[in-house]
Amino acid sequence: MTGERGSEPLGAAFAPLHVVVPLRSLAGGKARLGGALDAEEREELVLGMLRHTLLVLGTWPACARVHVVSPDIRLLRLVRSSGVDTVLQPGEGLNEGLRLGRHAAMKEGARSVLILPADLPLLETSSLERLLEAADAALAAGSGSPLVVIGPSDARNGTNALLLSPPGVIDPSFGLASFEAHVRAAAAADASLQVVTDPGLGFDLDTPEDVEVLLPETLESLLRLGQELATPGSSGS
């Protein structure tokens, strides 16, 4: 049966699973898209991709709780009504914020943590299910050893999803060549490693060329989601 391993639901061995979603400040967000979108549209797109991510996570049964981490207090205020936990980080460092989000998840009893950036416009629940399937396979092969599951970027140099069980098995090392850094860290921790290639996880939106790849209706939908999130009480909330 889809979504199950034997008589046990898919991912049950990792429950409760919390998701940490990092986001930098809205001001100047996705500045590299300046050639394709103006400042207002970029902000709407950042918010739209975040809301899309939260909507997908809201329909994923394995997700027990979501922690949005950002140095931007305005952004955190906008998402609190979505029923997620918010973590205000004191600085701009991405990995510092991820460690804070992981700590918040562990304080609330998370047995495993998924780090999931909010710039994956093609993300679907099926992509997240593939991560759990890989984790289940790694658990069976590793006889209970710690697990690291990586969803690399399409270019295979970055990390677009990082599932850790237990949450502290390795530290997040997002940034330049993060995929290789996470693979090395998993080996050093003697953790079972799985790499999941999935179109919903591999495509992150960073450049004007990325915008051109999106279907016009997908971009319009993301911008509309961003407008709705920026306007509490609007339709579609």
Confidence (pLDDT) at 9: 76
Which is it for strands 159-165 and 112-115: parallel, antiparallel or unpaired?
Answer: antiparallel
Confidence (pLDDT) at 72: 93
Give the separation between CA 122 and CA 157, rounded to whole angstroms: 19
Q: Exposed/middle/buried for 47, CB within 10 Å: 0-12, 13-18, 19+?
A: buried
pLDDT at 88 over 90: yes
Higher pLDDT, 82 or 56: 56
Domains detected in the chain: 11-230 (3.90.550.10)
CA 34 to chain centre: 24
Partners of 70 in the β-ladder: 88
pLDDT at 233 over 80: no
Q: Is the peptide bond before 16 cis (omega within 30 degrees of 0)?
A: yes
Polymer length in residues for the chain: 237
- Per-residue pLDDT tens over the stretch 133-176: 999 988 888 667 899 999 999 988 999 999 999 999 999 999 98
Confidence (pLDDT) at 2: 42
pLDDT at 111 over 90: yes
Q: Which tokens hold the place of 225?
A: 């989601």
Confidence (pLDDT) at 10: 74
Q: Exposed/middle/buried for 176, CB within 10 Å: 0-12, 13-18, 19+?
A: exposed
